[in-house]
């Protein structure tokens, strides 16, 4: 086992990160110790990584612990991206203090955008969560992982595309997946295994290019693309206007009689650029 301390720019509130991740039944979160176990695949090797906050919002620091010292550099680089330790939240905070979202950003100061731990599983999660309420989506995702993934060092590792590509549609339908959703997940996994869809290459593509690659894939629509860009690739300026949760949050925040129209959402979002992803995140937090 190896350990390393990491310091990041303030403000950064890890307790907010753990609160959100604790909603997911697959997360191994210890709120009291401010600790999380992260399942990572590094060079296809499964590594359980402990991330513990040893600082505070105004002076954030983390203790990283894992096996495989030969993978240390890659693990830290991946964690820095997932937890957005390389993004300074101070200028983003200052930007929003001049907008309609001032109160939200005061209340949730230092809440970072946290990415999914793996691009493939991010896309699968997006497909699972489509048109489902959050509670059932989490339950379905948990069944999927515990049926086809593996447990190691006390944490569940999500299945790899090679495993899912071998399945029959009925294997997912047995877990209460709809027929269409089973097809979308297995067919997308097969495209990845065949090399026809290369998610790693999308990390360096523009948002429009990512959409151009993903939208022709059966089962992937604009909502899924936006969520993949946001929680898979960590793009900072995304605002899924069609998202019901965002509409509800804005209705509540501005005390509107009904949900805002697309035109209202578009007009509001102009004030929040170039950090629309943070507006989305903080608005979602306001109704959780």
Residues forming the active site: 243
C-alpha of 138 from chain center: 13
Strand blocks (E) in 20-171: 28-30, 35-42, 45-53, 61-66, 150-152, 155-157
Pick the closest to residue 73 from 47, 35, 37, 112 (CA basis): 47
For the chain, the first-to-last Cα distance in angstroms comes to: 37
Rounded Cα distance, 48 and 157, in Å: 9
Rounded Cα distance, 201 and 118, in Å: 14
Pick the closest to residue 185 from 229, 124, 125, 108 (CA basis): 124
- Largest alpha-carbon pair distance within the chain? 57
Rounded Cα distance, 35 and 51, in Å: 6
Q: Which residue has the tokens 């604009």?
A: 222
Rounded Cα distance, 176 and 128, in Å: 11
Strand blocks (E) in the chain: 2-7, 28-30, 35-42, 45-53, 61-66, 150-152, 155-157
Q: Which residue has the tokens 């379905």?
A: 140
Q: What is the DSSP letter of 59?
A: B
Instruction: Give the β-pairing of 150-152 and 35-42.
Output: unpaired
């Amino acid at each position: 086992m190896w350990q390393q301390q990491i310091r990041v720019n303030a403000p950064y509130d890890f307790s907010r990160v753990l609160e959100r991740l604790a909603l997911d039944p697959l997360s191994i979160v210890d709120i009291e110790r401010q600790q999380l176990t992260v399942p990572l695949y590094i060079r296809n090797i499964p590594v359980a990584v402990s991330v513990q906050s040893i600082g505070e919002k105004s002076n954030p620091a983390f203790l990283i612990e894992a096996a495989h010292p030969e993978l240390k550099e890659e693990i830290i680089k991946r964690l820095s991206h997932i937890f957005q330790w390389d993004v300074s939240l101070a200028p983003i905070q200052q930007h929003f203090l001049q907008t309609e979202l001032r109160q939200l950003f005061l209340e949730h100061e230092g809440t970072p955008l946290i990415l999914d731990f793996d691009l493939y599983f991010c896309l699968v999660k997006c497909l699972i969560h489509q048109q489902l309420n959050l509670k059932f989506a989490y339950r379905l995702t948990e069944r999927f992982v515990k049926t086809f993934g593996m447990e190691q060092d006390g944490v569940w590792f999500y299945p790899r595309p090679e495993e899912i590509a071998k399945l029959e549609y009925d294997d997912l339908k047995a877990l209460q997946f709809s027929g269409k959703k089973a097809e979308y997940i297995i067919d997308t996994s097969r495209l990845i295994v065949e090399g026809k869809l290369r998610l790693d290459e999308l990390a360096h593509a523009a948002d429009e290019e990512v959409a151009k690659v993903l939208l022709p894939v059966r089962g992937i629509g604009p909502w899924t693309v936006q969520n993949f860009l946001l929680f898979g690739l960590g793009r900072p300026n995304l605002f899924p206007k069609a998202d019901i949760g965002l509409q509800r949050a804005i209705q509540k925040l501005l005390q509107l009689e009904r949900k805002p129209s697309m035109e209202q959402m578009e007009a509001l979002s102009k004030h929040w650029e170039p950090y629309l992803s943070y507006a989305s995140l903080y608005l979602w937090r306001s109704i959780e």
